[in-house]
Amino acid sequence: KCVVHWYKCDTRTMDNRALHLASETAAKHQLPLLCFYLISPQDFEAHLTAPIRVDFILRNLQKLKEDLSELDIPLYVETVERRRELPSRLIELCTIWGASHVYCNAEYEVDELRREATLTRSCLGKGISFNVIHDTCVVQPGCLKSGAGGALSVYSPWHRKWCAYLNEHPEQLDAFPPPKKNPPATLQAYPDLFACKIPDAPKSKQLREEEKTRFHTMWPAGEHEARARLSKFILERILKYHEHRNLPGGNATSNLSAHLAAGTLAARTVVREARDAAPSKRLTDDRKQGHSMWIGEVAWRDFYRHVLCHWPYICMNKPFKPEYSNIEWEYDLDQFGRWTDGNTGFPIVDAAMRQARHTGYMHNRCRMIVASFLAKDLLIDWRMGEKWFMEHLIDGDFASNNGGWGFSASVGVDPQPYFRIFNPLLQSEKFDLEGNYIRKWIPELAGIKDKGIHDPYGRGYAKIAEVNGYPRPMVDHKKARERALARYKAGIGRD
């Protein structure tokens, strides 16, 4: 007999609620704790998981396996080719191992909730206790309500409630200790589980050798790395976060999104550590203080998950605001290709897209700029951009990505009206003042030493741009803005 923890997006030993509960149950019944992870290539396809993210998941699993084996806990990893066979394989493994209890942390996307509901029923039939635990959000979805008792879809009032809830229930931020060491006999009882190797990435998700070298240096894996990044950020940069966070050329943000998405770090951990380092131990919505501003950004991650739970139809390619379903979008693949390749002729947009291609990451301000450009200036269906981000970013996370795209395309939870359209040139001048971010990512323009870099064709640098092969702006922003306003207005007006 044994107790089992099923790993998903929570590949860590520390501060993991379901893993901790599994360990407690195992200790109570004097049973060993076994862990497993099932790789589903069809899930990777269905979820558009980027190859860089698949590679990161596999590297995290390797580190996790090493960490767990120090506690004499095996991590068994297996590839299940067919997605729909995953639940039956899970039950088969648990039956072979004689599991009395299975624990896992909840995921809130519709497919995952359905799968877990099926598993709960099937396990019951086999006499196995199947436990799905709330862990990924700092505040459990459903805990925060409006004055009238309904769900909240506007961030600011939601965030005030989020802070108040955590101030009232500070124990929600307490850490869960890592699992206890298994009985010494576990090693002999389950040699195959200890010996199993982490499989290679499925064929369609493999990186080239050159990409592997680049990404492994940029994105070291594992929870110890994640914690070290967090500590360094809190020690060196969080104090000034509110001042510099919008500048893509600096290094002001935490770069922790890949770890939060993979679950090598819990959102609870980062909020607790930031709060403990803050001048005040009470959480507030003070945007003029680095620690509270940063915690407020981490709260956006919770916010979008809560939105997903309350309005699950957003998982089905539908906009949060149903009245925005009838906007007539463009599907021009040539224009879309210029956007994905960073050849739009708008330097800030192109720098951001090239950063994403080269690193698997993009700064938040730039994500907003390129998303607005695609949806408003090009009027291309925002879902094509949402999909491209998932397919290319290391931190691709359905709720945050869908929320960010909905927000930027004005079809999501943002209470701002659709006529707030980013001007890429003004954004560029404001947030990349000296043009260093553009200079770094667009070598064609690196020779331009002044502010002409934001708009080379409009500011006397056409020759340099042309000679180096940098394109002219693919649209006139003023005209594109008017077209977008008309199209949004017509779309909303229609039945």
Residues that bind ligand FAD (CB under 6 A): 245, 253-257, 260-261, 297-298, 300-301, 304, 363-364, 367-368, 371, 389, 393, 395-397, 400-401, 403-405, 408
For residue 441, indicate whether it is catalytic.
Answer: no
Minimum CB distance to ligand FAD, residue 329 (Å): 16
The residue among 100 and 284 lying less far from ligand FAD, judged by its C-beta, is 284
Minimum CB distance to ligand FAD, residue 60 (Å): 15
Minimum CB distance to ligand FAD, residue 489 (Å): 23
CB atoms within 10 A of CB 392: 21
Q: Which of 153, 49, 143, 47 is nearest to 407 (CA)?
A: 153
The residue among 182 and 402 lying less far from ligand FAD, judged by its C-beta, is 402
Measured from each CB, the residue nearest to ligand FAD is 404
Q: How far apart are CA 257 and CA 263, in angstroms?
A: 10
Q: How far apart are CA 345 and CA 359, in angstroms?
A: 21
The residue among 261 and 448 lying less far from ligand FAD, judged by its C-beta, is 261
- Counting every residue written for the chain, the total comes to 495
For residue 329, indicate whether it is catalytic.
Answer: yes
Token pair of 61 as six digits:
């699993």
Which is catalytic among the residues 162, 219, 294, 382? 382
CB 448 within 8 A of CB 457: no
Which is catalytic among the residues 24, 297, 330, 429? 297
Which is catalytic among the residues 219, 300, 339, 441? 300
Element (DSSP H or E) covering residue 99:
strand 99-105
Minimum CB distance to ligand FAD, residue 180 (Å): 30
For residue 97, indicate whether it is catalytic.
Answer: no
For residue 243, indicate whether it is catalytic.
Answer: no
The residue among 60 and 401 lying less far from ligand FAD, judged by its C-beta, is 401
Element (DSSP H or E) covering residue 351:
helix 347-359
Q: Which of 141, 119, 143, 145 is nearest to 132 (CA)?
A: 119
Buried b (16+ CB within 10 A) or exposed e, 187-200: eeebeebbebebee
- Using left for φ > 0, alpha for ψ between -120 and 50, and beta otherwise, residue 465 falls in alpha
For residue 311, indicate whether it is catalytic.
Answer: no
Which is catalytic among the residues 246, 311, 330, 364? 364
The residue among 190 and 339 lying less far from ligand FAD, judged by its C-beta, is 339
The residue among 247 and 260 lying less far from ligand FAD, judged by its C-beta, is 260
CB 45 within 8 A of CB 250: no
Residue type, 35: C
What's phi and psi for 127, nearest 5 deg?
75, 25
CB 470 within 8 A of CB 438: no
The residue among 17 and 259 lying less far from ligand FAD, judged by its C-beta, is 259
Minimum CB distance to ligand FAD, residue 11 (Å): 16
CB 274 within 8 A of CB 242: no
CB atoms within 10 A of CB 332: 13
What's phi and psi for 215, nearest 5 deg?
-70, -30
Which is catalytic among the residues 329, 330, 391, 466? 329
Minimum CB distance to ligand FAD, residue 24 (Å): 28
Token pair of 492 as six digits:
């909303």
Minimum CB distance to ligand FAD, residue 245 (Å): 6
Question: Measuring CA to CA, how many Å separate 315 from each of 226, 309, 397, 403?
Answer: 29, 10, 12, 11
Strands of the 33-39 sheet, one edge to the other: 75-79, 33-39, 2-6, 99-105, 129-133
- Using left for φ > 0, alpha for ψ between -120 and 50, and beta otherwise, residue 113 falls in alpha
Minimum CB distance to ligand FAD, residue 343 (Å): 20
For residue 209, indicate whether it is catalytic.
Answer: no
The residue among 193 and 371 lying less far from ligand FAD, judged by its C-beta, is 371
Q: How far apart are CA 179 and CA 10, in angstroms?
A: 14
Minimum CB distance to ligand FAD, residue 84 (Å): 26
The residue among 186 and 372 lying less far from ligand FAD, judged by its C-beta, is 372
- Strand 99-105 and strand 33-39: the pairing is unpaired
Residues serving a catalytic function are 297, 300, 329, 364, 382, 405
